[in-house]
Structure 1
Amino acid sequence: MPEPSMPADISIRLDGAPRSLPAGTTLADLVDQLGHAPQGVGTAVNGEFVARAARAGRVLADGDTVLLFQPIVGG
């Protein structure tokens, strides 16, 4: 009898648009797949800021809403 497995894909909303990703994708994976330099983009999942150092541990789930934004730097 086959073992239960994770669904092949999950559906998220990325910057307001639907997007399908393989189950188990982390926020760091998504940033990389989109071609962004990790330090060049800010991230939030479901309205909560996710620090750069925490992205690799943040596995995206079906229904998550992901926002990418330009970090604000000033002087």
Structure 2
Amino acid sequence: MIDAADKVVQDDERAMELFLQSRQRHQAAPDAWAQRSDEIHCLDCGEVIPPARLVAMPHTKRCQPCASDVERR
């Protein structure tokens, strides 16, 4: 019979396993974003989002200045 403490340990181990798998996928993703030939434009100002920002934040829709403005609001 499994007790509550064993269940917590199993859940923690599974969560860590899923985290590590996700991390591996995410670490591979920036290379794909860096090699994109099309430009991604900021949702607010329309300027091109720098490739370095896309590598750091692959799903961003805003350039850094516009993202800062949104966060301050």
Give the TM-score, by structure 1 length.
0.26
Larger strand percent: 1
Q: Which has the higher contact order (CA 8 A, sep 6+)?
A: 1
Larger helix percent: 2
Give the TM-score, by structure 2 length.
0.26
Q: Highest Rg: 1 or 2?
A: 2
